[in-house]
Amino acid sequence: MLIEIVKISLIASIFSFLGDEDMIFNWYRKLIMKLPNWLNRPLGSCNLCITGEACFWYYIITQEYNLIDHLFFTSAGIFLSSIYAIIWYYET
Protein backbone atom coordinates (compact mmCIF):
# COMPACT_ATOMS: atom_id res chain seq x y z
CA MET A 1 0.00 0.00 0.00
CA LEU A 2 2.82 2.45 0.76
CA ILE A 3 4.43 2.12 -2.66
CA GLU A 4 1.04 2.88 -4.23
CA ILE A 5 0.82 6.07 -2.20
CA VAL A 6 4.27 7.15 -3.36
CA LYS A 7 3.46 6.38 -7.00
CA ILE A 8 0.10 8.15 -7.05
CA SER A 9 1.29 11.21 -5.14
CA LEU A 10 4.38 11.58 -7.33
CA ILE A 11 2.45 11.25 -10.60
CA ALA A 12 -0.29 13.66 -9.51
CA SER A 13 2.18 16.21 -8.14
CA ILE A 14 4.38 16.19 -11.22
CA PHE A 15 1.31 16.54 -13.43
CA SER A 16 0.33 19.61 -11.43
CA PHE A 17 3.88 21.04 -11.43
CA LEU A 18 4.09 20.68 -15.20
CA GLY A 19 1.18 23.11 -15.45
CA ASP A 20 3.40 25.94 -14.21
CA GLU A 21 4.37 28.79 -16.53
CA ASP A 22 6.66 27.65 -19.40
CA MET A 23 5.93 23.97 -18.73
CA ILE A 24 4.35 21.41 -21.05
CA PHE A 25 0.89 21.32 -19.43
CA ASN A 26 0.51 25.06 -19.00
CA TRP A 27 -2.18 25.07 -21.70
CA TYR A 28 -4.22 22.67 -19.55
CA ARG A 29 -3.77 24.84 -16.45
CA LYS A 30 -4.97 27.91 -18.38
CA LEU A 31 -7.99 25.94 -19.57
CA ILE A 32 -9.07 24.71 -16.12
CA MET A 33 -8.43 28.09 -14.49
CA LYS A 34 -11.58 29.31 -16.25
CA LEU A 35 -13.56 26.99 -13.95
CA PRO A 36 -14.50 27.86 -10.36
CA ASN A 37 -11.84 27.09 -7.71
CA TRP A 38 -13.79 24.19 -6.21
CA LEU A 39 -13.47 22.48 -9.60
CA ASN A 40 -10.14 23.66 -11.03
CA ARG A 41 -8.12 22.82 -7.94
CA PRO A 42 -8.83 19.06 -7.85
CA LEU A 43 -8.44 18.93 -11.64
CA GLY A 44 -4.82 20.03 -11.47
CA SER A 45 -4.26 23.64 -10.48
CA CYS A 46 -3.38 22.60 -6.91
CA ASN A 47 -0.92 19.76 -6.42
CA LEU A 48 -2.27 18.88 -2.95
CA CYS A 49 -5.86 18.84 -4.20
CA ILE A 50 -5.25 16.65 -7.24
CA THR A 51 -3.15 14.26 -5.16
CA GLY A 52 -5.84 14.03 -2.50
CA GLU A 53 -8.49 13.34 -5.12
CA ALA A 54 -6.37 10.73 -6.88
CA CYS A 55 -5.55 8.91 -3.64
CA PHE A 56 -9.14 9.15 -2.39
CA TRP A 57 -10.66 7.60 -5.51
CA TYR A 58 -7.85 5.09 -6.11
CA TYR A 59 -8.39 3.66 -2.65
CA ILE A 60 -12.15 3.38 -3.11
CA ILE A 61 -11.79 1.65 -6.48
CA THR A 62 -8.96 -0.77 -5.67
CA GLN A 63 -9.00 -1.61 -1.96
CA GLU A 64 -11.30 -3.42 0.42
CA TYR A 65 -12.81 -0.55 2.37
CA ASN A 66 -11.50 0.38 5.81
CA LEU A 67 -12.12 3.94 7.01
CA ILE A 68 -8.82 4.36 8.87
CA ASP A 69 -6.80 2.97 5.96
CA HIS A 70 -8.70 5.20 3.55
CA LEU A 71 -7.94 8.29 5.63
CA PHE A 72 -4.29 7.24 5.97
CA PHE A 73 -3.96 6.57 2.24
CA THR A 74 -5.31 10.00 1.32
CA SER A 75 -3.45 11.88 4.08
CA ALA A 76 -0.13 10.22 3.32
CA GLY A 77 -0.49 11.10 -0.35
CA ILE A 78 -1.16 14.73 0.48
CA PHE A 79 1.76 14.79 2.93
CA LEU A 80 4.16 13.40 0.33
CA SER A 81 2.84 15.86 -2.22
CA SER A 82 3.67 18.76 0.09
CA ILE A 83 7.23 17.43 0.40
CA TYR A 84 7.51 17.19 -3.38
CA ALA A 85 6.33 20.80 -3.66
CA ILE A 86 9.05 21.98 -1.30
CA ILE A 87 11.68 20.14 -3.35
CA TRP A 88 10.24 21.22 -6.72
CA TYR A 89 9.99 24.91 -5.92
CA TYR A 90 13.30 24.97 -4.03
CA GLU A 91 15.12 23.54 -7.05
CA THR A 92 13.43 25.66 -9.74
pLDDT at 89: 86
Which whole number is the average pLDDT over 46-73? 96
User: How far, rounded to the nearest angstrom, does the alpha carbon of residue 5 sit from its chain's CA centroid?
Assistant: 11
Residue 16 has pLDDT above 60, yes or no: yes
The full set of domain ranges for the chain reads 2-91
pLDDT at 76: 97
**Sequence-separated (6 or more) residues with CB below 8 Å from residue 73:** 1, 4, 5, 55, 56, 58, 59, 63
The more confidently predicted of residues 61 and 92 is 61
How sure is the predictor about 90, in pLDDT bands with cuts at 50, 70 and 90?
confident
**pTM to 2 decimal places:** 0.89
